[in-house]
Structures are given as C-alpha cells and as structure tokens.
Amino acid sequence: MTYETDGSLLDKARAALPDMLADLRQLVLCESPTSDFEAGRRSADLVAQVGSEHLGTVPERVENGGRVHLRWRLGTGPRRVVILTHHDTVWPIGSLETHPWVCADGIVRGPGCFDMKTGLVQAFYALGGLMADGAPLDGVTLLVTGDEEIGSPTSRELIEAEAADADAVFVLEASGPGGAIKTQRKGTSNYTVTATGLAAHAGLEPENGVNAGLELAAHMLAIAEFGDADAGTTVTPTMLGGGTTSNTVPDSAWVAVDVRAATIAEQDRVDEQMHGLVAQLPGARVSVDGGPNRPPLEAASSGDLFTRACGLADRIGAGPLSRVAVGGASDGNFTAGMGVPTLDGLGAVGGGAHADDEHVVIDPIPGRTALLAALVADVLDGAGAR
C-alpha cells in the first residue's frame, strides 16, 4: 500500500491540536514518578485508556520488578517500525502543587510535559491518524515503558527483543534546542567505587586505623582525570558517602561515578581504567562495581533516517529540520547499539527537562506529529527497509 505523505498530514494534525492538548493534560495530571509503583500503575492504566481510544486496541501489559510497560503490536507481520516512549517521570508525587498544569500564551507547563508525555501523545495521534485513513499499519509496535528515567533496568530486554529485526526505530524523547533532532547521543556507564579501611578512635588512636575516606579521595582525583575533552568523554564523581561517626576513622567510603562517551571505544577505555583501580594505602582495599549501561547512539545509526526525515518534513510543510549531538542517553541508545537505524528527539519542542522551567511550545506539536506519521508511512512503503 502507498501512504499519503503530503501536506494533508499536517492539516489533520493541526485540526487535532485541541484534542491533543486535552489528552496531554490528562497525562500530566496523572503524576508518575518511576520510584512510586502505585503511581506507575495508575499512569499505565490511563495511558492504556487514552492510547486504546486512538489505536482501536488495548495494549499488552508487561509487569517486571514492579514497573508497568505497555506494548501495542499493530498487525501480525514482522516488526518493521518500533516507536519508543515512556510514561515515567523524575517528578515526585505532589509536584503539581508547585508546578501546576498551565496551558497559556502558546506554552504548556507541568511535570513531565516535555520529558516526555507530549511525545507520547504525538505517537498516539500520528498512528491513529494513519489508521483513520485506512492504513493497515502492519508491523508497527508502540512501546511505552515505565522505567526509562532510571536506566530501563526492567524494560531493556523488552526493547531489544522488539527492535531486533526492525527496519527503523523512532524515539519520541524531547527534541534538542530549537527542535533539533537528536542524531547522536553519548553512551552511559555507571560505577560505584568503594574503599574499605579499618575503624579506630579518631582522638585516642587514629594511627591504628586505615582511613577509607583518604583512600577514596586519592581515587576520586585519579578518576577525574579519566575523561578526555577532545573525545567528548566525561568522567564525573557524583554522590558520595562514608564513615559512621565524627570521631571515628572511617572504615568505609564510596562514590558514584557517571561516565559519558561518544564512542564504544572510549566507553571501553574508561571501563578498563575504572576496573584497574588498586588500593593506595597500606591495609586498604578498593572495589569497583558497575560498567556500561547504554552504548552510544553514533551518527551512523541515524544518518540515513535523518536525511529521509528532512525530505519528508519539507514535503509535508514541517521543515526545515536541524540536528544535534547530546550527552544524555535514552532507550534509543540500546537499539542503535544493536545496529538498528534509530532516530531520536522526535518529541516535544521546548526545554527545562527535569527542571523548574520544564515546558513545551505548543505551535510545533502538529508538525512533529505529522512528521512521525510520514516517517512511519515511508518505512512501511519500503523506503526505509534495512
């Protein structure tokens, strides 16, 4: 079947904008922090209800480790297109009291509106719009996960299994500055470095102790040097803790380390250095837990799809497009790391993800929705096959 990928897609999306904002309001008002299992279930129930109204079928509900993921598999054929979204946010219950839903002066505000509930609404309307035109959409999966904000520990296997043989993956994470499509993302690695020493009274006999804090401090200074600015690699000690009381030589201290790397080679280099740490003080021990979490989304994974998106955006009146490389990771890193063509940042235009100024610009929403519909149609017509 040949799908229509012309200006009519944008016209239909513009006409649907009031309904899109109404659905977005429902989703934002249903707070869904990843850490709150009951809130996640309530959110999943609402997402399933709203999505079913547009897609004409209920999703498969996948629960793992207390998290709820939703999967719409449209048609019975092999998976050709996978659309990745998530319904969890970083905002705790009660955030609406300080960051209420606002839709005024061309801007939407509210917890999770930018990351990424607007993208989720765009996915529903893009696919629902194609189906309303009689398109069969055989081989399309919409996956809505519930743990993206904490690294997707219970949904990664589901994501990778669904995308394994796909022609293309489209990620509805929020856009970069000015609406830029995210064609490169750094890979992420996470570590915990623990130093173990020997406790002693800090006033009576400190010389009999082995200070785990001093041991850890030496490693933190070394770890900070593992980064490579020229390669775009950052290695950052973040959370830390240790000790028991203020008058005791600490027998344990720890630090979390965040690593961002643009290439797998850099990710592997830092991993080798991290696991090569050895104790510096006599009697101390050091251990390193963790490793790479998400591989990089490199330019080669998105290049062809971005070129196609630019052509489609111009054709439907939603262009021009720009692109950007970012340090943050998403579930698109997983699929790109598998070698599946992946295009990210197709969601909301706005800013302030995870911050007090989180907001979405309303005017681009129809164009982003129409672009997703055009991309799905293009792949199903055969132009996007791997």
Structure tokens at 301: 């994974």
Q: Which of 346, 341, 234 is nearest to 298 (CA)?
A: 341
The conformational region for residue 317 under phi > 0 = left, psi -120 to 50 = alpha, else beta, is left
DSSP for 182-242 reads: EEEE-EEEEEEEEEE-B-EETTT-GGGSB-HHHHHHHHHHHHHTS-BTTTTBEEEEEEEEE
Q: Quick check: is 157 catalytic? A: no
Whether 143 and 70 have beta carbons less than 8 Å apart is answered as: yes
CA 355, CA 174: separation in Å to the nearest integer?
Answer: 14
CA 306 to chain centre: 19
Active-site choice (31, 88, 331, 344): 88
Q: Which of 99, 118, 133, 168 is nearest to 343 (CA)?
A: 168
CA 98 to chain centre: 24
Pair type for strands 107-109 and 102-104:
antiparallel
Q: CA of 222: how far to CAs of 63, 131, 193, 238, 274, in Å?
A: 41, 56, 12, 14, 10
Q: Quick check: is 105 catalytic? A: no
Active-site choice (115, 148, 173, 215): 148
Find the distance separating the first CA and the last CA of the chain, reported in whole Å.
Answer: 19
Structure tokens at 370: 């129409």
CA 181, CA 201: separation in Å to the nearest integer?
Answer: 57
Whether 28 and 360 have beta carbons less than 8 Å apart is answered as: no
Pair type for strands 81-86 and 168-171:
parallel
Indicate which residues carry an active-site annotation: 88, 148
